[in-house]
Amino acid sequence: MKASLKNYRQSPRKVRLVADFVKGRNVEDAISNLAVLSKRASLPIKKLIQSAVSSAKKDSGKSAENLYIKEFRVDKGVTMKRSMPRAMGSASRINKRSSNVLVILEERPQPKIKNKK
């Protein structure tokens, strides 16, 4: 299941710190860890994961216990260009960066049990 967040107004570098923290974990693990993480991007990423879980339940009937975060991609979004006045009538540029976030959840394969004869 996929879920995406477009043009989130925080730089991709800062969002990737949170994304790398939860990548590869179980969904329940990731949500509980994000609840106590003291980064600004943790709340939107937590909501994004919950959205992907709810769509997985609705569309495929998969349970949250078996889901894990297969891929977590944070890409560069639109950059707003602003300027700040400087000395002697000049101006310097300020880049206000944004992020596009994509999360892909997948069901963890169940281990096969071998029959002993």
95 backbone dihedrals φ, ψ, rounded to 5°: -100, 120
Query: In this model, does residue 100 exceed pLDDT 80?
Result: yes
Residue 38 DSSP label: -
Flag whether 113 is in a domain: no
Query: In this model, does residue 6 exceed pLDDT 90?
Result: yes
Flag whether 61 is in a domain: yes
Are 19 and 75 in contact by the 8 Å Cβ rule? The answer is no
Flag whether 89 is in a domain: yes
pTM of the model as a whole: 0.85
Flag whether 91 is in a domain: yes
- Which pair of tokens denotes residue 93? 């540029």
Flag whether 40 is in a domain: yes
Q: Residue 103's domain spans which residues?
A: 2-107
Flag whether 62 is in a domain: yes
Give the CATH number for residue 76: 3.90.470.10
- Which pair of tokens denotes residue 29? 């693990």
Query: In this model, does residue 110 exceed pLDDT 80?
Result: no
**One-character DSSP codes across 69-111:** EEEEEEEE---EEEEEE-GGG-EEEEEE--EEEEEEEEEPPPP
CA dist 25 and 69 (Å) reads 6
Mean pLDDT of 112-116: 70
Flag whether 112 is in a domain: no
With b for 16 or more beta-carbon neighbours within 10 A and e for fewer, the 91-117 pattern comes to: eeeeeebbbbbbbebeeeeeeeeeeee
Q: What is the pLDDT of residues 9-47, one digit of tens each?
A: 999 999 999 999 999 999 999 999 999 999 999 999 999
How many domains does one find in the chain?
1
